[in-house]
Chain A
Amino acid sequence: MAVIRTLGSGAWRVVELITTPVVPADYLDAIAPLRNAKVLRARVEAVRPETANSATLVLRPGRGWVPHEPGQYARVGVDVAGVRLWRSYSITSTPARRDGRITITVNAVPGGVVSTHLVRRARRGMLLHLDVPTGEFLLPATRPAKALFVTAGSGITPVMGMLRSALHELRDVVVVHSAGTHEAVVFGAELRTLAAEGRIRLIERHTRTDGRIKPADLDELVPDLFERQVWACGPNEMLDDLEAHWADAEAGHLLVTERFRPALISGEGGGTVTFTKSGTVVETDGSVPLLDSGEQAGVLMPSGCRMGICFSCVLPLREGAVRDLRDGSLTVAEPGDSIPVQTCISAAAGPCQIEN
Chain B
Amino acid sequence: MTTIQHKKSNPIAHLTPEDIEAIGVELDAIRDEVMGSRGAKDAAYIRRVIKVQRGLELSSRAVLLFSLFPPAWLVGTAGLSVAKILENMEVGHNILHGQWDWMRDPKIHSTKWEWDHASPAEQWKHSHNELHHTYTNVVGKDNDLGYGIMRVDEEQRWSPAHLGQPLYNFINACLFEYGIAAYDLELGKNLATPERRKDPKFRAALKATRRKIGKQMLKDYVVHPALSGPSFLHTIAANATANLVRNLWSHSVIMCGHFPNGVETFEKTSIEGETRGEWYLRQMLGSANISGTKLMHIMTGNLSHQIEHHLFPDMPSNRYAQISPKIKDLFQRYGLKYTTGPLPKQVASAWWKVLRLSLPNKPVVAPRAVAAERPAPVSDPAARWRRLPAAAAAAAAPAPVEAL
A244 to chain B, nearest CB (A): 38
Question: Which of A17, A22, A289, A339 contacts B382 (CB under 8 A)?
Answer: A289
- Pairwise interchain contact A20-B216, C-beta atoms closer than 8 A: yes
Question: Which of B31, B116, B125 contacts A310 (CB under 8 A)?
Answer: B125
Chain A residues, CB < 8 A from B227: 18
| B43 CB–A CB distance under 8 Å | yes
| B35 CB–A CB distance under 8 Å | yes
A83 touching B382 in the complex, CB below 8 Å, given contacts A305-B129, A311-B129: no
Question: Which of A27, A82, A312, A325 contacts B385 (CB under 8 A)?
Answer: A325
- Pairwise interchain contact A22-B218, C-beta atoms closer than 8 A: no
Complex CA gap A27/B227 in Å reads: 18
Tell me the A292-314 residues at the B interface (CB within 8 Å): 292, 304-312, 314
- Pairwise interchain contact B38-A82, C-beta atoms closer than 8 A: yes
A17 touching B133 in the complex, CB below 8 Å, given contacts A83-B102, A306-B382: no
A20 touching B215 in the complex, CB below 8 Å, given contacts A27-B54, A314-B110: yes
- Pairwise interchain contact B114-A305, C-beta atoms closer than 8 A: no
| B282 CB–A CB distance under 8 Å | no
| B97 CB–A CB distance under 8 Å | yes
Question: Which of B31, B40, B111, B134 contacts A340 (CB under 8 A)?
Answer: B111
| B115 CB–A CB distance under 8 Å | yes
- Pairwise interchain contact A307-B279, C-beta atoms closer than 8 A: yes
| Tally of chain A residues near chain B (CB < 8 A) | 37
A344 touching B382 in the complex, CB below 8 Å, given contacts A79-B103, A307-B279, A311-B314: yes
| Tally of chain B residues near chain A (CB < 8 A) | 51
| A30 CB–B CB distance under 8 Å | yes
Complex CA gap A84/B178 in Å reads: 36
Taking each of B41, B42, B314, which has the highest tally of chain A beta carbons within 10 Å of its own beta carbon? B314
B210 to chain A, nearest CB (A): 15
| A326 CB–B CB distance under 8 Å | yes
| A14 CB–B CB distance under 8 Å | yes
Tell me the B84-140 residues at the A interface (CB within 8 Å): 97-98, 101-105, 107, 109-111, 114-117, 125-126, 129-130, 133-134
Tell me the B24-44 residues at the A interface (CB within 8 Å): 28, 31-32, 35-36, 38-44
Complex CA gap A345/B105 in Å reads: 21
B35 to chain A, nearest CB (A): 7
- Pairwise interchain contact A306-B98, C-beta atoms closer than 8 A: no
- Pairwise interchain contact B125-A312, C-beta atoms closer than 8 A: yes
Question: Which of A82, A305, A327, A345 contacts B36 (CB under 8 A)?
Answer: A327
Taking each of B38, B98, B223, B382, which has the highest tally of chain A beta carbons within 10 Å of its own beta carbon? B382
- Pairwise interchain contact B218-A309, C-beta atoms closer than 8 A: no
Residues of A within 8 A of B (CB): 14, 17-18, 20-22, 26-27, 30, 39, 79, 81-85, 289, 292, 304-312, 314, 325-327, 329, 339-340, 342, 344-345
Jot down 24 A-B pairs with beta carbons below 8 A, ordered by A: A17-B218, A17-B219, A18-B224, A20-B219, A22-B114, A30-B54, A79-B40, A82-B39, A82-B43, A82-B102, A84-B103, A84-B104, A85-B104, A292-B382, A307-B279, A307-B384, A307-B385, A309-B129, A311-B110, A311-B111, A314-B101, A326-B385, A326-B387, A344-B382
Taking A14-B223, A85-B104, A344-B385 as given, write out 6 further A-B residue pairs in contact, using a Cβ cutoff of 8 Å, ordered by the A residue number.
A17-B223, A20-B215, A82-B41, A84-B103, A306-B384, A310-B130
